[in-house]
Every structure is written in C-alpha cells, then in structure tokens.
Amino acid sequence: MGAMFSLKLPTAKGPFHVGCTDFMIDHTREGSFCRLYYPCEAVEQSRPPLWIPRYEYCAGLVNYLNRSRWSIPLLNLAFGYQTVPVAWNAPFRAEEKYPLIVFSHGLGAFRSVYSAICLEIASHGFVVAAVEHRDESAASTYYYRTAAGDVEQLPEETCEDGTPSAVPISPQVAQPGLKEVWLPVVKLKTGEEEFPLRNDQLRQRVQECSQVLNLLTDINQGKSVNNAFVGNLCPSVLKDCIDLQRVAMMGHSFGGSTSVQVVAEDPRFRCAVALDSWMLPLSEEMYSKDPGTVFFINSEKFQTEETISKMKRLQSWNNKIKIITILGSVHQSMTDFTLLTGNLLSLAFETKGTIDPQEGLEIIQKATLAFLQRHLDLPKDFNQWDALVEGEGDHIVSGSPPLT
C-alpha cells in the first residue's frame, strides 16, 4: 500500500526548490487572481503559506457543502494550521526558461486545494499558475473595490525588510485604499436546470485562463503590471523566463472540462490534462470538431458510462487523446483533501478510495509529466513514465474499468 499516510502535504521530489506567491493583477472582479508555484533559489528559512489562505474559505466550504455555520470553526480547527511545503515569495530561479501550466480548480474549490500536484510539477522545472475563478464556482473568492481613505494595516508577521520568516503567512496585504468584496459559490435554485448555469460559468472560466496566459505573456515580455498585494514576489523577475512555446492546461472536475474547452479554443495551449473531468458543462458543439490534445486521468468511482462515452467521442477525432483510470481512487483522490483528512472525515466526505493517497497522486504526477514531455517536446527524462500514459502499470487501466 505504500508509505504510511500522514496528515500533511508531501514535500516536492523534483530537482528544483519550489517557491510560491499570489498575483492579483487588476484588483477588480474582471482582473486575474492566481497562485504561482515556481522554481526558486534555496533559502535558509522559508515562509510556508497556510493551506487555507483565509478563514473566509472555511466559511465558503461549509456553505458549499450545505453544513451548519457551526461547522466553520470545526473546519478551521481541522485544517487551519496546515501549511504548504513551499517557500513563500522566495527568489525566483531566473536561470532558464520554464514551460507554463495553467491550473483550473473544481466546483467548490479554490486556488490552493491542489497544492500537492502543483508544487510537485513545479519542482520538475515548470511555472504553474493556479487560477482562482470568479465565476462563482469557487467555494469563496474575493476581489477589491476602491475605497478612498481606507488603509489596511500590515499583519504582525510581515517582514518590512523582506527577510524570510518561519511564521506561516496569511492573509494577504492589499495596497492602501482597497476594500475586499467576497464572492460566495452560486447554488442551483429549486427546479433550475444545471447545464445553462455551468456552461455560462465554463465560458467565463475559459476567458479567465486565457487572461492569465495574457498576463504572464506581458510579464515575460517585460511589461509592467500592478499586483494588488503588497510585498509579494515582484512580477518583473519572471521576464524572459517563461517558455511561451510550451504552454499547457490542467484542471480537476469542473477544471477538467475547463481545460478541454480552453485547448479547443486557444491555440496557445498545446495540450490539456483533465483530472476526473466533469463533462456536463461542455456543450454538444464540442463533440463536433477536433478538440486538440487531451489526457483524461479518471478516478474509478466518479465517471459513468455516459461520461466515458463523451470522452471517447472526443478521442475519435485523433489518436493524441488518451484516457486512463486509476483503480481504487475516488473523485477527491485528485485533491489535497485525500492527504489531509483522517479516516473519520474521509468516511463523511469520501476523500479517499482504497489506493494509498500518496501513491495515487504520484501516478497522476508521473503520468502528467510523461504526457507533457511528449506533447510539449520537453528535453527531459519524463518519458521513463510513458507506460502510465498508455494505462500500463499498477493500479491503472487504459480507458475505463469494467462497469459493475
């Protein structure tokens, strides 16, 4: 079954140290909000960010899960102390160009819920931009409006001289004169059909992913951008360090269908990795044309005969579309929750299957890297895991398992 499960996120195994920062470029709702994982210089003392960046996200999760508000402090007690094993705002390793992955979260999630996958990929020499969507599919998110005269105070743990601190950091520090506006997740009304809402959200999500690529393209070209957060990594350090010829999408559930749609619409993205993709938001029109290059990595317990048939309809267009299933996995096996929940919470929310959580995530990470090498023409040795892309190995099958 692999290593003994422990309630923390694993450190990265790749050859690069991993840094992390948040960008909110254009503080309004129409701007871009993402968490950046990137190769960084080694630092003696690292500032680990909290896994749940703000208490408000606990409230958002409780609201999304339709639990009592009394559950908010309990959720914060269970997860509020967890940190991500990366160096917050560590110096960017500006010694080469890195391929870029834009990551899209699932319904009811937010930018830090897939930290284990994102930081592991970054440790192998990628810049990973995890979008926080403002289509009201996130458990909660926020933007700022201008509030003249309102000046936010710096939290005590902020180091004015930029010296790294071992204290976990949260919340973000906004520029003076900005006021937070929080967006809760939108819920279906009684009797409301789901497809129109989700398809509208999908279109906004696609636009937001392309906008993040636009933003990072501008930064790579040396254009000045203004981060709403004070004291975070200066965007200008990424100049000439992003390989814009090697860009891919990745996402889970709603983020999986978002990734499929992005690659079909924006040719700058060369391929997509769709983790347990939720196929409902995709319109019928999607299946009438070549969608591009997509790698579907499915859990054993989420997909149905209908959704698998939709994936196979897309696969009929070209032989670059791959479908594999991780046996013993559930939908939440692709998120950090599978690593951070004990047996009791796992039973309540089905965050674990029968496969060891770390082993399942390692399959996802290695298969993803092998697929990216193949379709981004990377000069790496990730092809050592090519068999996984074909569905060959322990705990995986090509296509879908026999339906019981």
Q: Does residue 6 lie within any of the structural domains?
A: no
Query: What's the CA gap between 309 and 254, in Å, rounded?
Result: 18
Question: What does the DSSP assignment read for 271-284?
Answer: EEEEES---TTS-G
Query: What's the CA gap between 318 and 330, in Å, rounded?
Result: 28
Q: With cut-offs at 50, 70 and 90, classify the pLDDT of residue 157.
A: very low
Q: With cut-offs at 50, 70 and 90, classify the pLDDT of residue 166.
A: low
Among candidates 358, 351, 354, 363, which has minimal Cα distance to 297?
363
Q: Does residue 204 lie within any of the structural domains?
A: yes
Q: Does residue 4 lie within any of the structural domains?
A: no
Q: Does residue 360 lie within any of the structural domains?
A: yes
Question: Against a cut of 0.75, is the pTM above it?
Answer: yes
Q: Identify the pLDDT of residue 162.
A: 42
Q: Identify the pLDDT of residue 164.
A: 45
Q: Does residue 10 lie within any of the structural domains?
A: no
Query: Which of the residue ranges 18-27, 160-169, 221-230 would you say has the lowest mean pLDDT?
Result: 160-169
Q: Does residue 329 lie within any of the structural domains?
A: yes
Q: How many helices (H) and strands (E) does the chain have?
A: 10, 12
Q: Which residues contact 97 (CB under 8 A, 6 or more apart)?
A: 240, 241, 242, 243
Query: What's the CA gap between 294 and 372, in Å, rounded?
Result: 10
Q: Is the pLDDT of residue 352 over 70?
A: yes
Q: Is the pLDDT of residue 176 over 90?
A: no
Q: Does residue 98 lie within any of the structural domains?
A: yes
Q: Identify the pLDDT of residue 7.
A: 82
Q: Is the pLDDT of residue 201 over 70?
A: yes
Q: Which residues contact 135 (CB under 8 A, 6 or more apart)?
A: 200, 201, 204, 205, 208
- Measured CA to CA in angstroms, residue 136 lies from 60, 112, 117, 140, 244 at distances of 11, 16, 23, 7, 29
- Domain of 128, CATH number, reads 3.40.50.1820
Token pair listed for 277: 């993709």
Q: Residue 239 is part of which domain span?
A: 17-398
Q: Is the pLDDT of residue 159 over 60?
A: no
Q: Is the pLDDT of residue 148 over 70?
A: no
**pLDDT (tens digit per residue) in 60-90:** 999 999 888 888 998 888 898 999 999 999 9
Q: Identify the pLDDT of residue 209.
A: 98
Q: Is the pLDDT of residue 348 over 70?
A: no
Q: Is the pLDDT of residue 137 over 70?
A: yes
Query: What's the CA gap between 139 and 252, in Å, rounded?
Result: 15
Q: Does residue 11 lie within any of the structural domains?
A: no
Q: With cut-offs at 50, 70 and 90, classify the pLDDT of residue 169.
A: low
Give me the active site residues, please: 253, 276, 331
Residues linked to residue 102 through DSSP beta bridges, in sequence order: 129, 249
Give how many domains the chain has, as a whole number: 1
Q: Identify the pLDDT of residue 170.
A: 59
Q: Is the pLDDT of residue 120 over 70?
A: yes
